[in-house]
Amino acid sequence: MPSNLPCSHKRVGAVEWREIAKSVRSVGGRLFALWGTDDRDRDGSFRVYAVYLQSGGVAIVEHGMEGGTKPTYPSLREYFPSALRMERAIFDLLGIKSMEPDHRGWLRHGGWPEDAFPLRRDFDRNSQFAVVSRPYPFVQVEGDGVHEIAVGPVHAGTIEPGHFRFSVVGEKVLRLEERLGYKHKGIEKLFETMVQKEGHRLAARISGDSAVAYSWAYCAALEAVTGTICPPRAVQLRALALEHERLANHLGDLGALGNDAGFAFGLTQFSRMKEDLLRTNQTYLSARYLMDFVVPGGVASDLPDDASRLLLDHYRFLEADVSAMRNTYDNHAGVQDRFRETGILSQETAYNLDAVGLIARASGIPHDLRSDFPWPPYDKLKVKVYSQPSGDVAARVALRFDEVLESLRICRALVTDLRAGNTGTAVPDAEPGLFGIGVIEGWRGPVLIALETGPNGSIRRCHPHDPSWQNWPLIEYAILGNLVPDFPLINKSFNLSYSGHDV
């Protein structure tokens, strides 16, 4: 299967669909993504795809089912609990059911009729329906003194919308149930109206804070199906952009976490560092946020001639500032009191519930695709994977510090060893009916783009997957037994994407 990572592909029946999941789980593999497709126009079938990450690389398992009146497939929830929400999303968009009892709408909140399924080929993307809002049955907690706190979808800050339903006694959280899907914008359906050469622009806007990761994943998928090899300088610049994206987000989070712990000084310092980095992006990489930097075949702009020395200077100053702030955070009793033992996600829970990316590493599960299956140019960079054992807010803070410093090392290595040559190459239109996978380790964790090509350079199907799918349910566990006022701190320490999840 064409991909930027080692990738295998297998077609299976319903029984094997579950058996593979069981055997992947038994050898410590992880469920990475799950989605469905309407292929009734081609062979009368619906299909579901599961992607696993295991020691040999990425494994794609495909299961087809008859497109009759009630297409169903076996659920993977028993082996991978994170599958449940993805299966609910598949039903909302395609009308194919997993054999699981929970079919409450996840992405469909009443914005389109129950018998209309947007990702079916016969559904018109431009249909508009009046919203028919329905109550959503949250799981109720009963007992003396238990009450509910409903938060959202509009939150009290400059953040994305989602709903949290807390069941509390006093200030202690007994249960949290999330409801997401508010930002569903029909991105997958929109991909099907775009040409292959334009898809990277939409990919970059799946989750704006991961624009480089997504646009690179899209381009990697397209380049894999067309057999395009990017020039070395182009992939180095992509990696530089990806590391800048990691740095900017980690710096922003470190500041916000200090602020949520009542230490505004941290926010001031880190937001200054972040702003400096964004301005450096503007000067050397064309924009503060690199929405349209990664393009099929390479990158949109080259570094100016004088950039290397100035970038290296910037990294040196930033490293000194971050190290000093780490010292300040580590030695501040009040901050540490809020960070430590707050929002613990144990290694066992993280493993059992399929944690990925940054959150997994902060709970002692050291996976990073940049090191596990390094694609160019990471094959030459020897990325060191950090992890923290304690799984609390303090661990997620410490891990961000570790990763900022490692990213700075990578940036220095990239800038010092920048190859001469072109920053791009032409990408031909792919043949119809090809299937490719692009996987990139973004700052939050691995993001995936699965691309199926149509005739005349069109996109037949494109599925993006955000690590937030796996990590959102974990907050429901990390919050248990904590106080309601610690929720913003815990939530920020996860900093998951709503948009990347709701697509």
Partner 1 sequence: MINTLSRMIRTGILTEEVPRPPKGDLPIGELQGKVRRVLGRALCIRHVDAGSCNGCELEIQALNNPYYNLEGIGIKFVASPRHADMLLVTGPVSVNMEEALKRTFDAVPDPKLVVAVGDCGACGGIFGKSYASRGAVADVIPVDHTIKGCPPSPVTILQAILETIQSTHASTNYHL
Binding positions for partner 1, rule: CB under 8 A: 107, 109, 111-112, 116, 118, 123-129, 131, 133, 153-154, 156-161, 181-187, 189-190, 201-202, 205-209, 211, 252, 265, 268-269, 271-272, 274-275, 278-279, 282, 288-289, 291, 324, 327-328, 331, 497-499, 502
CB of 118: closest distance to partner 1 in angstroms? 5
CB-wise, 250 or 370, nearer to partner 1?
Answer: 250
The conformation of residue 316, written as its DSSP 8-state character, comes to H
**Rounded Cα–Cα distance for residues 192 and 201 (Å):** 14
Residue among 470, 448, 49 at smallest CA distance from 216: 448
Omega before 473 cis (within 30°)?
no
CB of 155: closest distance to partner 1 in angstroms? 8
Residues 6+ apart with CB under 8 A from 40: 46, 67, 120, 121
CB of 208: closest distance to partner 1 in angstroms? 3
Ramachandran bin of 398, using left for φ above 0, alpha for ψ from -120 to 50, beta for the remaining angles = alpha
**Rounded Cα–Cα distance for residues 303 and 280 (Å):** 11
| Spacing of C-alpha 93 from chain mean position | 20
CB-wise, 19 or 321, nearer to partner 1?
Answer: 321
**Rounded Cα–Cα distance for residues 88 and 77 (Å):** 11
CB of 318: closest distance to partner 1 in angstroms? 14
CB-wise, 131 or 420, nearer to partner 1?
Answer: 131
CB-wise, 370 or 444, nearer to partner 1?
Answer: 444
CB-wise, 128 or 456, nearer to partner 1?
Answer: 128
| Cα separations in angstroms, 349 against 81, 84, 469 | 11, 16, 16
CB of 291: closest distance to partner 1 in angstroms? 6
CB of 394: closest distance to partner 1 in angstroms? 19
Tell me the two tokens of residue 385: 């994977």
Q: Which residue has the tokens 């339903």?
A: 165
CB-wise, 123 or 138, nearer to partner 1?
Answer: 123
Query: What is the CB-side half-sphere exposure of residue 100 using CA atoms within 13 A?
Result: 24
**Rounded Cα–Cα distance for residues 178 and 491 (Å):** 12
CB-wise, 392 or 466, nearer to partner 1?
Answer: 466
CB of 82: closest distance to partner 1 in angstroms? 22
**Rounded Cα–Cα distance for residues 404 and 400 (Å):** 6
CB of 230: closest distance to partner 1 in angstroms? 24
CB of 219: closest distance to partner 1 in angstroms? 17
CB-wise, 312 or 324, nearer to partner 1?
Answer: 324
Strands (E), 358-497: 435-441, 446-453, 459-465
Residue among 259, 478, 430, 283 at smallest CA distance from 251: 259
CB-wise, 158 or 456, nearer to partner 1?
Answer: 158
